[in-house]
Structure 1
């Protein structure tokens, strides 16, 4: 029996339309699944609740006010009368509950003459620095130990990739001011000097892992408050 041409054409048409609509259906499913994943507009931090691996819990929407989305703490200079002659004023989720869960935060950096933000990392975020006043020498070291640094003037911007060691030093003869933005509401912080010399890690282990001699390690521990 000869094949039915009408039946064959109908099958071809079905295949044609399926090929056209399957990608569209897939895109629609992705769109709607992502839309429904955002079940609320924001998650203002409930600072009375414990801080966990996923951050702060959300305040009940009925208790949220406009004040949760406003932070005025970056308008005043930080106290630079300290060992590093610098001050960092954070506007992270602990200080600024409205940024909780939004993947953004800010900080103010004040550097007195000779001030320095020591080598440090932010495990949870990349950083963008903009210089507002003065001159700042800033840089970072990549995982291949290549160094990227330069002196930044007013209006200059530099980015520091997530997790990489970086620093800022006042490169001028007057106070410097900068603001930093982060790709996390809680970028985290580990300062290399404090990680090595401000705790009770035995000096002999530090000496073996850093190739510093005992006198240098003991001196740095004394300056930074470490023991052992």
Structure 2
């Protein structure tokens, strides 16, 4: 009897461990909370497949760039998979400003245009700047947690895709964090840290 009970428990555990996800009923189902969507699959409303892929980002802003993320918040099925990506659109001379991904390493692939990229090492390696000019098909790596940037140095639009080693790599835009915190960092702290006049700090804080 004890042997039979053990066998049954092992069988149940095995069947649970090797159970697969439900078979897909269509090519893709991007989950949404909108009950007006076109289909209900496996407990989730699905977006219209024609709307599942992003159009080029709007680069008509002060930076001349738009980053469209595909992190776990936008694509819930990335949960536990340890990957994410982003689309980077650049107007001529558009900039993706210095920023950090605290939880993931980034691999950037340039699809169109000419993009100047770089990252800065930590204090341990004397804050060394590594840069490269990338063209179509080139790949560059940004180590996890290091400040990095991308600048379109061409006269035409540029497009790149970033692949990250975390479902939620995080994003800290350096200027926004330092000069646009809520509440603002004390001006005395920033004037001493950057060795500049407090009028400049006040100006930078007013931009955020």
Of 172, 176, 194 in structure 2, the residue corresponding to residue 210 of structure 1 is 194
Q: Which residue pairs with 1:223 in the alignment?
A: 207
The equivalent of 1:176 in structure 2 is: 158
- The runs of 5 or more residues in structure 2 that have no matched partner are 1-13, 22-30, 34-40
The residue number in structure 2 matching 1:58 is: none
1:137 aligns with 2:119: no
Residues of 1 paired with 2:120 and 2:102: CA distance?
A: 14
d(CA) in 2 for partners of 1:207, 1:41: 58
Q: Which runs of 5+ in 1 are unaligned?
A: 1-34, 49-60
* 1:131–1:39 distance in 2 versus 1, CA, 3 Å: same
Rg (Cα) greater in structure: 1
Q: 1:41 to 1:212 in 2, by over 3 A?
A: farther
For 1:92 and 1:40, how far apart are their aligned partners in 2? 26
1:221 partner SS? helix
Aligned counterpart, 2:57? 78
Q: Deviation string for 1:90-112 (max 9, x for gaps)?
A: 11111111111100111000111
TM-score, normalisation: structure 1: 0.68
Larger relative contact order, structure 1 or 2 (CA cutoff 8 Å, min sep 6): 2
- Contact kept? 2:71, 2:84, Cα under 8 Å: yes
Determine the C-alpha separation between the residues in 1 that align with 2:113 and 2:180: 30
Question: Which one of 169, 172, 194 corresponds to residue 176 of structure 2?
Answer: 194
CA-atom RMSD in angstroms? 3.0
- Structure 2 Cα separation of the partners of residues 41 and 157 of structure 1: 35
Distance 2:53 2:164 in 1: 17
Aligned residues: 175
More strand, by proportion = 2
Matches within 5 A, 1:52-67: 62-63=42-43
Question: How many Å apart are 1:86 and its aligned residue?
Answer: 0.6
Of 120, 131, 143, 1:149 maps to 131
Question: Which whole-Å CA distance do the structure 2 matches of 1:39 and 1:203 have between them?
Answer: 58
Equivalent residue number for residue 104 of structure 2: 125
CA deviation string 1:173-213 (max 9, x = no partner): 11110000111111100011111111211211111122222
TM-score (norm 2): 0.74
